[in-house]
Amino acid sequence: MSEKIDNIRSIGLIGHGGIGKTSLAEAMLFTAKATDRLGRVDDGTSVMDYEPEELKRHISISSSFHHYNWKKHRVNLVDMPGDDNFLSDTKTCLSAVDGVVVVVDAIDGVRVTTGKVWEFANEFDLAKVFFVNKMGRERANFQKVVDDLSQSFGVKAVPVYLPIGAEDKFKGVIDLLRMKACNYATDGSGNFTESDIPDSLADEVQEAADKLMEYVAEADDALLEKYLDGNSLTPEEVTTGFKKGIQNGSFIPVACGSAARNIGIAQLMDMINQCLPSRPAAMKLLVTTR
C-alpha cells in the first residue's frame, strides 16, 4: 500500500433518512474527481444508490462503498441507510469505520433517527463531525441547528465554517481557521474563489473564530497555556487540538453547505482529513467485510 497509513480514512455518513447523505457522498466523489458527474438521487444517476429498489424508492436500503483521494489522503466512504427499517446494516458497518459525518438538514435539525445512529456511533466510540446540509433550502437556519445539536446530544457543537447567506441567498462558506470567504459558483461545479471576510459579517466571524480557538486550545494543556499567554497557535497545533478535542469529546466541529448545489463540500473534505483519525484495525475490518 503506497499511502501512509495516517493518511487513510474510513468514514461513514450517518443521519436521518432523506437528509441528503447520498447526495453528499455524490458531491464528495465529484469534487475529488472520483466520478465525472454529480450524481443525483432523484433522477436515478447516483453511483451510491444503484439497486433497483433504491432507485425506485429514492432511499438507501443497504450501505454502499466508494473511495476518493483528496489532498494526499485516501478516504474510504460508506453511505449508510437512515431509514428505520435498515438501521441494522448501519450499525454493522459502523463497527468498521474510523469516524463519522453526522448529517443533519438546515431546516429540521436533529430528528428521531439522528439520535439512534448517534447512539450507535457512541457504542463504537467513533470520532464525529457534523455537517449541516440543505443550507440553500427555504427556512434554513444554521445557528438554530447548531444550538439543537448541542442541546440534543449534550455536546459542544463548534462551527469551523459559517454560511454566507441562507435559503436562496446561500452562496458559500467562511473558513474560520483561515479567515477567508469561499464564494462558490452557481453551476454545481464545486469551484470557488476566496476573498476577504465581508465587512457586514466581520464581527460575527471574529466572535466565532475566537470561540473556535478557545475550544481547540482547551483540548490540550500545553496549547491552552500558549493561548492564554496571547500567542497564536500554529496550523499543526490547531490540528493537534482538533484531534484531541474530538477524541476526548470536549467539542465536535461543524461544517455546512448544500450537497445538491455542491457548496461547502471541499471544506467538509478538508475537515475530514484534518479532524478524523485513521484506525488501521478498523480499515482492515472494512476490507474483510466487503
12-57 pLDDT, tens digit per residue, is 999 998 899 999 999 999 999 999 998 776 666 777 755 555 545 5
User: Can you tell me whether residue 173 is helix, strand or coil?
Assistant: strand
Query: Is residue 203 a part of any domain in this protein?
Result: no
Q: Is 245 inside a domain boundary?
A: no
* Residue 109 within a domain: yes
Q: What are the distances in angstroms from CA 84 to CA 12, 52, 88, 102, 117?
A: 17, 19, 9, 16, 10
Query: What is the arithmetic mean of pLDDT over 120-148?
Result: 96
Q: Are 145 and 106 in contact (CB under 8 A)?
A: yes
Q: Is residue 17 part of a domain?
A: yes
Phi, psi of 95 (to 5 degrees): -70, -10
Q: Tell me the pLDDT band of 6, cut-offs 50, 70 and 90.
A: confident
Domain encompassing residue 31: 5-197+251-289
Here the CATH number for the domain that contains residue 29 is: 3.40.50.300
Residue 114 in domain: yes
Q: Using the predicted structure, report yes or no on whether residue 272 has a pLDDT greater than 90.
A: yes
Return the pLDDT at 289. Answer: 43
Mean pLDDT computed over 169-191: 96
pLDDT over threshold 60, residue 67: yes
For 251-265, the pLDDT digits (tens) are 999 999 999 999 999
Between 242 and 39, name the one with better pLDDT: 242
Separation of alpha carbons 280 and 55, rounded Å? 34
125-136 pLDDT tens trace: 999 999 999 999
pLDDT at 267 over 70: yes
Q: Which residue has the higher pLDDT, 229 or 47?
A: 229
Residue 215 domain-assigned? no
* pLDDT higher than 90, residue 117: yes
Q: To 5 degrees, how large is the angle CA 68–CA 64–CA 69?
A: 5
In a domain, 160, yes or no: yes
**Residue 53: what pLDDT?**
57
Output the pLDDT for position 287.
45
**How confident is the model over 176-191, as a mean pLDDT?**
95
Q: Report the number of distinct structural domains present in the chain.
A: 1
* Residue tagged 446494516 (cell numbers): 89
Query: ∠ CA(137), CA(108), CA(139), 5° rounding?
Result: 35
Residue 227 forms part of a structural domain? no
